């Protein structure tokens, strides 16, 4: 288990506030012992956790008084706060249990052991600290391993690494995905219509069509996980459909916004795991557009895999051939190097750019029908670019 006193999260916390946070953790650990375990649902994975939590809350709220962790707050603080908010009136609690460092999951499980575990997908996100994908799966899979025998594991059956986690528990397992041959809950005819994800939701002989507020084919996985959870708690498929159709994506998670001069912005600036970057590019390629423009910052926390992962993104861009690519600084330059080595048209590529340079370029060239994908690690602050080229920008 990690030493909570020396965890890197404290770097941004005032020394005067740290004792209060540590006390809150201590109190939450004791308080959780008096809360029935069946209330808690833990969500982990490399991507899609926040969307899964939001979708689970919407579905469970059809039947239960449901509480969730707060979006965009470090879990070291988030989990204790949520536990302490769990009053007797709260019937279900959905906890996002993302990890960046070895031993973090052990720390969370020392606070609370959920009776339901949901695992979205596993990728190389956070490999700088967690190591290779095998180690990442080992750490995140501890959530499944900690389930009681009468618990439930809801696992992405399309992801072979996640699917294998079923071997780590004696609890009941429900698989979700897009292949009806290996999944209990599955999506069919997954597509994008008018910047909306649409799919058929299937369980047994039942099927309903779901038109969501999400964008991107990969967003089907968080919604399927929530549907599987609802089915387990005997919520009718018609109510699950209604709940999924009402879920709003979290801010900066592939949101379609009105941009400068009649353009459309795909704002995906919250974070940037390699798999999520490639899926965002897939989404851009599937929407109707006059011109497709890709704006990327560097991906963080990849450690020694950084150059390889950035070059693979370059290969993806080369295959999809957007009309213009603007790249930020740092390791994003590896994307540019790969593109140029592959023979990408130099006139369609600008790299090593500051955010202000991206804004200046875009304000000059954007016109009606252009679709701009903007994605990068939070530290890239590409959300500032979104604000500057948005149709609703201030000042």
pLDDT bin (cut points 50, 70, 90) of residue 14 is low
State the Cα–Cα distance between residues 280 and 164, nearest whole angstrom: 26
- Residues 176, 178, 181, 186: what is their CA dihedral angle, to the nearest 10 degrees? 50
The per-residue pLDDT for range 246-291, each reduced to its tens digit, is: 999 988 989 999 999 999 999 999 888 888 999 999 999 999 999 9
For the cut 80, the answer to whether the pLDDT of residue 145 exceeds it is yes
List, as own/partner pairs, every contact residues 18-23 make where C-beta atoms lie below 8 angstroms and the sequence separation is at least 24, other chains included.
21/76, 21/77, 21/80
Instruction: Tell me what pLDDT residue 9 has.
Output: 64
Q: Return the percentage of the chain with pLDDT > 90, whole number.
A: 78
Mean pLDDT lowest among 64-78, 227-241, 315-329: 64-78
Query: Does the pLDDT of residue 394 top 60, yes or no?
Result: no
Question: Does the pLDDT of residue 77 top 90, yes or no?
Answer: no
Give 360's contacts (C-beta < 8 A, 6+ positions apart).
none
194 secondary structure, DSSP code: T
Distance in angstroms (rounded) separating the CA atoms of residues 14 and 237? 48
Q: pLDDT-derived band of residue 221, with 50, 70 and 90 as boundaries? A: very high
Query: Does residue 189 register a pLDDT over 80?
Result: yes
The reported pLDDT for the residue numbered 18 is 79
Percent of the chain residues past pLDDT 70, beyond the cut: 93
Q: Delineate the domains of the chain, giving CATH numbers in brackets.
A: 4-246 (3.40.1190.10), 255-389 (3.90.190.20)
Cβ burial 289-316 (10 Å sphere, 16+ → b, else e): beebbbbbbbbbbbeebbeebbbbbbeb
Alpha carbon distance 235, 256 (integer Å): 30
Segment 344-348 shows an average pLDDT of 97
CB 141 within 8 A of CB 167: no
Q: What is the pLDDT of residue 2?
A: 65
0.85 exceeded by pTM: yes
Which two three-digit tokens encode residue 55?
């979708």
Q: What pLDDT is recorded for position 125?
A: 61
Bigger pLDDT: 46 or 292? Answer: 292
- Angle at which helices 104-111 and 75-84 pack, to 10 degrees? 10
Report how far apart, in Å, the C-alpha atoms of 96 and of each of 49, 193, 348 are.
6, 30, 40
- Tokens, residue 370: 């252009």
């Amino acid at each position: 288990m990690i030493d909570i006193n020396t965890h890197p999260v404290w770097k941004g916390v005032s020394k005067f506030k740290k004792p209060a946070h540590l006390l809150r953790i201590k109190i939450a650990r004791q308080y959780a012992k008096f809360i029935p375990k069946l209330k808690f649902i833990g969500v982990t994975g490399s991507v899609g956790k926040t969307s899964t939590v939001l979708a689970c809350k919407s579905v469970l709220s059809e039947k239960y008084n449901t509480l969730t962790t707060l979006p965009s707050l470090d879990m070291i603080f988030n989990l204790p706060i949520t536990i302490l908010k769990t009053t007797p009136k709260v019937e279900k609690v959905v906890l996002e249990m993302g990890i960046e460092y070895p031993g973090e999951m052990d720390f969370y499980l020392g606070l609370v052991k959920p009776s339901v575990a949901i695992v979205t997908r596993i990728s190389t996100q956070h490999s700088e600290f967690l190591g290779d994908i095998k180690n990442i799966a080992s750490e995140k899979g501890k959530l499944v391993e900690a389930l009681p025998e009468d618990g439930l594991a809801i696992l992405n059956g399309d992801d072979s690494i996640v699917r294998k986690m079923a071997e780590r528990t004696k609890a009941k397992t429900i698989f979700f995905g897009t292949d009806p041959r290996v999944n209990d809950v599955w999506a069919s005819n997954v597509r994008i219509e008018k910047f909306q994800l649409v799919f058929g939701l299937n369980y047994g002989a039942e099927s309903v069509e779901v038109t969501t507020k999400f964008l991107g084919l990969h967003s089907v996985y968080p919604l399927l996980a929530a549907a599987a959870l609802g089915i387990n708690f005997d919520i009718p498929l018609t109510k699950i459909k209604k709940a999924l159709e009402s879920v709003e994506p979290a801010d900066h998670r592939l949101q379609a916004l009105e941009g400068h001069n009649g353009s459309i912005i795909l704002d995906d600036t919250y974070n940037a795991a390699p798999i999520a970057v490639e899926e965002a590019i897939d989404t851009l390629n599937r929407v109707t557009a006059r011109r497709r423009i890709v704006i990327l910052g560097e991906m963080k926390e990849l450690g020694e895999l950084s150059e390889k992962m950035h070059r693979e993104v370059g290969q993806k861009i080369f295959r999809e051939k957007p009309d213009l690519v603007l790249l930020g600084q740092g390791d994003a330059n590896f994307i540019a190097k790969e593109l140029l080595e592959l023979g990408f048209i130099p006139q369609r590529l600008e790299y090593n750019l500051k955010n202000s340079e991206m804004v200046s370029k875009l304000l000059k060239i954007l016109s009606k029908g252009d679709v701009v994908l903007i994605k990068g690690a939070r530290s890239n602050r590409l959300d500032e670019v979104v604000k500057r080229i948005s149709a609703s920008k201030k000042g």
